[in-house]
Structure 1
């Protein structure tokens, strides 16, 4: 890619910019933030690490939204973060206003870009941007399942002592307390994870995965997670930028898959140079189907709130 822009130069946005630059996933990273000079300072700070990390990706930052002009991909991290005790849905009212303004900037300055949404509640805000732009799901999708799956893999590595490099996990559904970790699809170098972990311990890992973000927020107290979310974004960008056709769980607009439509939720997707190339529909057992339906109901409740917030 030539240019990737990040809207929102908070901790997730800053860390994402650092990783994208270090891995040279594009020629230019642009940061936009409404705070005067904040994005410019972050961009300059990161660029000064280039001699140490040996990259020549250029970075620019501005509080003028025109800085995103010509972007191939726009990563949206803007919004109010959660505070301890808050759910992702609790920040919807504040963040939908921000996301509407962000969407208008994208339409004005980067009308040909792919949009990767990170801001919470990510399912609902991905839906909002898709509806507001009218763009196909190929170009508007969200990050959640990649992060949730990495958290689950880390917990399994911690539990078993095996290398995290050998652990494959899958998490579907909404990015919240009703997310749907899929232990049936979790393996350690191809061996089902159930071979190594007792059912009660696996159930505890599933619950911890659902609370993964809240656990970090409670420990940090003054910040939600940003290292793992930024790494998850970078993994998705790498799949797109290098046309890898990777199978990754993403927040996608559904059109009949999994029995759902007119909703954005986490499902397995193929990412390539065009963006979200394909939604992969898995056969769910009764328990998985029930959990997915429950998660969809939670996301729909937030989507239903959008109409109220518009009045």
Structure 2
């Protein structure tokens, strides 16, 4: 299994470290525009292997030299501003970056599954689906996987139950138009109520990413762990159900869009979409999210040549 990480900033480097500790591949390639940084990570991770149960081949390379990968994890991004208040601020420059990189990566890695981490992730997952030539099942946006994990973690503190024993999703946009799926949320088959306390927890989840960002200037640990869960599902063909951003041709009358719903992930990427029951409040939240995300897609990409 050959995995290439495209972008070796805080997130890419942390994902590489987590992959090495978990032993999730045989061959790891670190590729970035800063070749010296990628080479430094290569050497550091090679030294780390002495403390790991499984060894692997680790190398650094220019992005254009990455080829024949099974999984491409795309984290490359323009630099974050010191006072960013919305992931959409990264949109125009990152869309232009994707227009340069994704077609070449697709040509050189025709059998790969793409995992998109770069923000704004829903818009860029849509763009990657359009310009890669890959089937939509091979393009996976990390979406609300971290948001859902944060939700479960905070609920677990309140309910005093391990987060892995909670079934609670946040769907929609990885951003302001996300919403909690309370109608099917449960712990040991006991329903998790939609009440003021749990809404307060959801509000904390919505702000959590920026809380971390404002405290240290970036987020890296949770997103790295989330990326590894997606990689594990692909590597072991485990058919895990995860809330991820995926292209939707048509669902509930929502067409040609990209946002997070529960999907089943295996060796071929997204094996199938799941369609959970939505109550009236959740249906309205989904429709609002879809409308806003599509408006963002159209606004950001309308000037991109060849994308219609």
* Same structural fold, with TM-score higher than 0.5 when normalized by the shorter chain: yes
Query: Is 1:8–1:76's contact at 8 Å kept on the other side of the alignment?
Result: yes
Residues 212-236 of structure 1: CA deviation (Å, up to 9, x unaligned): 211211222xx22110011001001
Residues 141-184 of structure 1: CA deviation (Å, up to 9, x unaligned): 21122211101011112323332232222111011011112122
Query: Is 2:87–2:120's contact at 8 Å kept on the other side of the alignment?
Result: yes
Q: Secondary structure at the match of 1:70?
A: coil
Q: Which moved more, 1:174-183 or 1:157-166?
A: 157-166
Instruction: Measure, in 1, the Cα distance between the counterparts of 2:71 and 2:113.
Output: 5
Alignment TM-score, normalising by the size of structure 1: 0.93
Instruction: Measure, in 1, the Cα distance between the counterparts of 2:27 and 2:124.
Output: 26
**RMSD over equivalenced CA pairs, Å:** 1.6
Instruction: Measure, in 1, the Cα distance between the counterparts of 2:163 and 2:232.
Output: 20
Unaligned runs of 5+ in 1: none
Matched, 1:209 2:202: no
Q: Secondary structure at the match of 2:33?
A: coil
Matched, 1:287 2:281: yes
Alignment TM-score, normalising by the size of structure 2: 0.94
Change beyond 3 A, Cα 1:44–1:190:
farther
Q: Which moved more, 1:240-249 or 1:132-141?
A: 132-141
Instruction: Measure, in 1, the Cα distance between the counterparts of 2:90 and 2:15.
Output: 22
- 1:102: how far off? 1.9
Instruction: Measure, in 1, the Cα distance between the counterparts of 2:82 and 2:271.
Output: 35
Matches within 5 A, 1:44-63: 44-63=43-62
Structure 2 residue aligned with 1:301 = 295
Instruction: Measure, in 1, the Cα distance between the counterparts of 2:84 and 2:157.
Output: 26
Q: Which moved more, 1:261-270 or 1:301-310?
A: 301-310
Q: Which moved more, 1:90-99 or 1:233-242?
A: 90-99
Residues 6-41 of structure 1: CA deviation (Å, up to 9, x unaligned): 101111111111111221211011111001321111
- 1:308: how far off? 4.0
Structure 2 residue aligned with 1:225 = 219
Structure 2 residue aligned with 1:73 = 71
Structure 2 residue aligned with 1:112 = 111
Query: Is 1:93–1:309's contact at 8 Å kept on the other side of the alignment?
Result: no
Structure 2 residue aligned with 1:199 = 195
Instruction: Measure, in 2, the Cα distance between the counterparts of 1:138 and 1:20.
Output: 23
Q: Secondary structure at the match of 1:59?
A: strand
- 1:83: how far off? 4.2
Matches within 5 A, 1:153-302: 153-194=152-193, 199-220=195-216, 223-302=217-296
Q: Secondary structure at the match of 2:252?
A: helix
Q: Secondary structure at the match of 1:74?
A: strand
Q: Secondary structure at the match of 1:211?
A: helix
Query: Is 1:84–1:217's contact at 8 Å kept on the other side of the alignment?
Result: no
- 1:108: how far off? 3.2
Unaligned runs of 5+ in 2: none
Aligned length: 304
